[in-house]
Amino acid sequence: MGRFIDGGNHMSVVSLEVHDQVASVIIDNPPVNALGREVRAGLLDACRSIDQDPSVKAVVLSCKGRSFVAGADIRELGKRPLEPYLPDVLAAIEGSRVPWVAAIHGTALGGGLELAMACHGRVTAPSAKLGLPEVTLGIIPGSGGTVRLPRLVPMRTAVGMVTGGKPVEAEAAFDTGLVDALSNGNLLADARAMALELAGQGDPVPTLSRRLVPGDPVDWTVEEGRLLKRSRGATAPLEALATLREGADLPAAEALSRERARFLRLAASHEAAALRHIFFAERAAGQSLKSVDAKPVDLTHVGVIGGGTMGAGIATALLLSGSGVRLIERNATAVEAARRRVAETLAGSVKRGVVTQAKADDALARLIPGDDYAALADCPVVIEAVFEDMSVKREVFAALDDVMPADAILATNTSYLDVNDLAAMTRDPSRLLGLHFFSPAHVMKLLEVVRGGATGARALATAAALARLLRKIPVVAGVCDGFIGNRIMAAYRRDCEFMLEEGALPHEIDAAMRDFGFAMGLYEVQDMSGLDIAWAQRRARAAHRDPSERYTHIADRLCEAGRLGRKAGKGWYDYSTGVAEPDAEVLHILEEESEKAGRIRRRFSAEEVMQRILGVMQEEGRAILREGIAESAGDIDVVMVLGYGFPRHKGGPMFMAGAR
Ligand code: COA
C-alpha cells in the first residue's frame, strides 16, 4: 500500500499517492476528466506537495474512467477565467524538480494534450487518440499547445493538428514524436518505468527548453490560402496558423504570452459562443428519447425497402455499423442495381481512406438483397426508403403490415409526407415512425426522428438505439409538411424566389449565402440535385394551393423550358462551358415574371439577401417551436447545421436570433 500525501482540498478529483519513490497523480473527474477549476487546483496542490517531498523521485500522471483529460471544461470557456489558470499549473508541472510522465488512454484532447506535453515524458495505450480540437470550438490552444507542440513534432505536423483540430491515432503520435512510447501491456507500469528512467538522467528537461523540431519548411502563404478556402469564414483556424507562425520566431516565453492573449480574445468571441452552443446542442438533441421507458428491438438484422440513393445509403450505414441488412427491391434487375449501389458506396469509402477493404468486404457480406417481402419476416425493424410518393408508400406499408410480425417496428424515410397517414395503413400505428436520413446516409450525422400521433415508446426507443448504433445525432420532430428541416428550407426557398421576382439574381443569392458560410448557394444546390422532383411536388399540390397566397412561377417556367439542372446542362445556371454561368434566358424569365406580378425589379445587397433568408428561417423556426414540432431551439439549430449546410461557426438560425 502506498503512502498518501496531503495534496490540499481537491483530493476528490485529483489524488496523490506514493509507491516506492514514484508518485501517482490520478485525475478522477467524470465523465471525461475535463480540466475544471477543481482539477487545476488539485494538480497544482499535488505538484507543490511532490516538490516538497524529497522521497519522491518521479511522477506518473494518469486518469480514471474512460479517458485521459478530454480538454478544458467547455462550460467554463467564455466566462471569466478562474484561478489557478491552466498555463500556471502546466508551468509548475514542467518546472517540477522531478520528471512527470503522462500515461494516456482514451483521448488526450485540448488542454488534456497540453497537460501531457508539459510533462517530461508520454506513454500511450495503442488505442488512444491525441489532438488539439480547439478550432472546432472557435478558439486556439491557450496553455502552450502551439508553443510546445512544434518542440515535439515537425512544424508541418503541428500546423495540421492545430489548424485542422482532428485528433491523431497513438501510432501516428509515436511516429511523429508527440509521444515517447506505446504501451502494449500495462500502461501504468510502462509509465512508471519511463518515469524512473528519466529520473536517472538528471534534472528533467522542460519541453519549452527544447528547440523547434527540424523538418520540411512550411509555406505559410499556401497554408493560409488553403485555410481561407476551407474555413468558410470561421476565423479560429486562421488565428491558429498565425499563432504558430508568430511563435516560431519568438522565444518560448514571449510565444506563450502572445498565444494566451489570442486565446482569451477568441474565447470571448461570438464565433466561439456559437460553436459552444452547437457542441452542447448536439449532445442535448433528442432529449425526449433519453427518457423513453421501453426496450428497443434487436438491431442485428434490419430490413430496408428501396435500393435507390437513400435506401442504399441507409443500408450502407447499417452494414458499416455491424448489422445484417435485407434490402428489398421490386424485381431482379432493381435488386442487382441496389446491390451494386451499396458495393460502389462501400468502395468509395475505401477509396477515400475512411474504411479498410477488410471492413468493406465484411459489410458487403452481410447484405442480403432480394425482391420478396416475406424475407423481411425475421427483421425486428424495417426502414422504407422508396420513391417519395404517398400512394407508393401506402402500398408498401399495407404489404408490410401483412408480412411483418405484429411487434416489428416500421419506419419511413419520408422527407415530408404525413407519417400519420402511413401509420393508418398498419393495424398497430404505435409501431410506425419516421426516420428521415440525409444523403449520403452513411456520412451525414443527422437523423430526424418523426414522432407520429400514435408512435409508441418501443418505436422511439428503437430509433434512439438505431441512432446510437449508427453514431448519428437524433432530433425529434412532430408531424407537419417537411418536419423541421425541409419545412424551414421550403420557407426560405419560397422567399428566395420572391426576391428573384423583386429583382435579385440567382448568382447574387448564391454568392450571399456562400459569403455567409454555406458551402453552396441555394440555386447551385438545386441545379446539382435536379429541379424536377420539387416541380412534381408543386404540381401535386397545385389543386390545394390557396389562390390568395403569393406564388411565383419562376421555377415552374425554368422546368417547362427544360432547365432541370446540371443533368440537363442548364437550370438556374448554364453549364455549356463546364462551369456554372449566369444565363440570359433565366434573366429573361425573371424579368417577365416580375412584370406579370407587377413588381419593379431592384438591386439586393448581399446583406439584405441574408437578412431576408435568416429572418424567414427564424420566423419558421419560431412557428415550429410554437406548434411543438421541435422540442427546442437548439434542436432546430442542430438540424440546420448538420443537415442543411448552415455554417456551424454561426451557431444556427435560432442561436443567431438569440433564442437559446
Ligand atoms: N468540457 C465539459 N464537458 C464535456 C467536455 C468538456 N471538454 N467534453 C465532453 N463533455 C461532456 C459532454 O457534454 C457530455 O455531457 P452530457 O452527458 O451531459 O451530455 C459528456 O461529457 C460526454 O461527452 P460525449 O461527447 O457525449 O461523449 P463521447 O464519448 O461521445 O466523446 C469526447 C468523448 C471527449 C471525445 C468528446 O466529448 C469531445 O470531443 N469533447 C470535447 C473535447 C474538446 O474539444 N476539448 C477541447 C476543449 S478546449
- The residue written with cell numbers 485529483 in the block is 14
Please state whether the peptide bond connecting residue 237 to the residue before it is cis, i.e. omega within 30 degrees of 0: no
Backbone angles phi, psi at 99, to 5 degrees: -70, 140
Residue 471 CA, ligand 1 centroid: distance in Å:
15
Give the torsion sign (CA, 610, 613, 615, 621): negative
What is the β-pairing status of strands 100-104 and 129-131?
Answer: unpaired
Residue ranges of E strands in 223-269: none
Fold agreement between 2-256 and 486-628: no
Q: Distance (Å, rounded) from C-alpha 406 to C-alpha 423? A: 14
As given in the structure block, the three cell numbers for residue 30 are 467524470
For 83, other C-beta atoms within 10 Å of its C-beta total: 10
Q: Distance (Å, rounded) from C-alpha 610 to C-alpha 626? A: 24
For 55, residues 6+ apart whose C-beta sits below 8 A from its C-beta are 18, 21
Say which DSSP state 660 is in: -
Q: Quick one: which atom of ligand 1 is closest to the CA of 73?
A: 1
Q: Quick one: which atom of ligand 1 is closest to the CA of 283?
A: 19
Q: Under a CB-based contact definition with an 8 Å cutoff, are residues 48 and 83 in contact?
A: no
Angle of helix 111-118 relative to helix 86-94, nearest 10 degrees, comes to: 20
CATH level 3 topology of 288-477: Rossmann fold (3.40.50)
pTM: 0.93
Residue 238 CA, ligand 1 centroid: distance in Å:
24
Fill in the amino acid letter for 267.
A
What is the β-pairing status of strands 432-437 and 22-27?
Answer: unpaired
Q: Distance (Å, rounded) from C-alpha 509 to C-alpha 525? A: 12
Residue 619 CA, ligand 1 centroid: distance in Å:
32
Ligand 1, atom 15: nearest CA belongs to which residue? 283
Per-residue pLDDT tens digits for 8-52: 555 589 999 999 999 999 999 999 999 999 999 999 999 999 999
Assign residue 320 a region: left if phi > 0, alpha if psi is -120 to 50, beta otherwise?
alpha
Q: Quick one: which atom of ligand 1 is closest to the CA of 75?
A: 2
Q: Which helix (H) or strand (E) holds 341?
A: helix 332-351
Q: Distance (Å, rounded) from C-alpha 407 to C-alpha 421? A: 20
What number does CATH give the domain 486-628? 1.10.1040.50
Tell me the helix, strand and coil percentages in the chain, rounded to 5.
50, 15, 35
Ligand 1, atom 20: nearest CA belongs to which residue? 31
Q: Which helix (H) or strand (E) holds 618?
A: helix 606-626
3-state secondary structure labels for all residues of 474-537: EEEEECCCCCCHHHHHHHHHHHHHHHHHHCCCHHHHHHHHHHHCCCCCHHHHHHHHCCHHHHHH
Ligand 1, atom 44: nearest CA belongs to which residue? 133
Which stretches in the chain have pLDDT values below 70? 1-11, 659-660
Ligand 1, atom 25: nearest CA belongs to which residue? 283
Residue 43 in 3-state DSSP?
Answer: helix
Ligand 1, atom 24: nearest CA belongs to which residue? 283
The pocket around ligand 1, CB under 6 angstroms, is made up of 31-32, 34, 67, 70-75, 107, 109-111, 133-134, 137, 283
Pocket test for ligand 1, best of 13, 74, 287 (most atoms within 8 A of CB): 74
Residue 22 in 3-state DSSP?
Answer: strand
Q: Under a CB-based contact definition with an 8 Å cutoff, are residues 651 and 645 in contact?
A: no
Say which DSSP state 378 is in: G
Residue 458 CA, ligand 1 centroid: distance in Å:
28
Q: What is the pLDDT of residue 540?
A: 83
Q: What is the pLDDT of residue 660?
A: 44
Q: Under a CB-based contact definition with an 8 Å cutoff, are residues 204 and 98 in contact?
A: yes
**Strand-pair partners of 447:** 437, 474
Residue 284 CA, ligand 1 centroid: distance in Å:
12
Beta strands across the sheet bearing 121-124: 3-4, 14-19, 22-27, 58-63, 100-104, 121-124, 181-182
Q: What is the pLDDT of residue 80?
A: 87
Distance of CA 264 to the CA centre of its chain: 25
Q: Quick one: which atom of ligand 1 is closest to the CA of 66?
A: 29
Ligand 1, atom 38: nearest CA belongs to which residue? 70
Ligand 1, atom 12: nearest CA belongs to which residue? 283
Q: What is the pLDDT of residue 2?
A: 45
Q: Which helix (H) or strand (E) holds 320?
A: helix 309-320
Q: Distance (Å, rounded) from C-alpha 445 to C-alpha 317? A: 11
Residue 276 CA, ligand 1 centroid: distance in Å:
11
CATH level 3 topology of 2-256: 2-enoyl-CoA Hydratase; Chain A, domain 1 (3.90.226)
Residue 28 CA, ligand 1 centroid: distance in Å:
15
Q: Quick one: which atom of ligand 1 is closest to the CA of 133?
A: 44
Residue 109 CA, ligand 1 centroid: distance in Å:
10
Among 632, 428, 609, 401, smallest CA distance to 505 is for 609
Among 106, 27, 110, smallest CA distance to 67 is for 106
As given in the structure block, the three cell numbers for residue 591 are 424579368
Among 614, 583, 648, smallest CA distance to 512 is for 614
Q: Under a CB-based contact definition with an 8 Å cutoff, are residues 148 and 124 in contact?
A: no
Q: Quick one: which atom of ligand 1 is closest to the CA of 139?
A: 48
Ligand 1, atom 16: nearest CA belongs to which residue? 283
As given in the structure block, the three cell numbers for residue 238 are 486562421
Q: Distance (Å, rounded) from C-alpha 414 to C-alpha 197? A: 62
Among 132, 139, 143, 159, smallest CA distance to 234 is for 139
Pocket test for ligand 1, best of 32, 129, 648 (most atoms within 8 A of CB): 32
Give the residue extent of every domain in the chain. 2-256, 288-477, 486-628
Q: Quick one: which atom of ligand 1 is closest to the CA of 74?
A: 1
Ligand 1, atom 40: nearest CA belongs to which residue? 70
Query: What amino acid positions are annotated as catalytic residues?
Result: 114, 134
As given in the structure block, the three cell numbers for residue 481 are 409538411
Residue 279 CA, ligand 1 centroid: distance in Å:
9
Residue 227 CA, ligand 1 centroid: distance in Å:
26
Ligand 1, atom 28: nearest CA belongs to which residue? 32
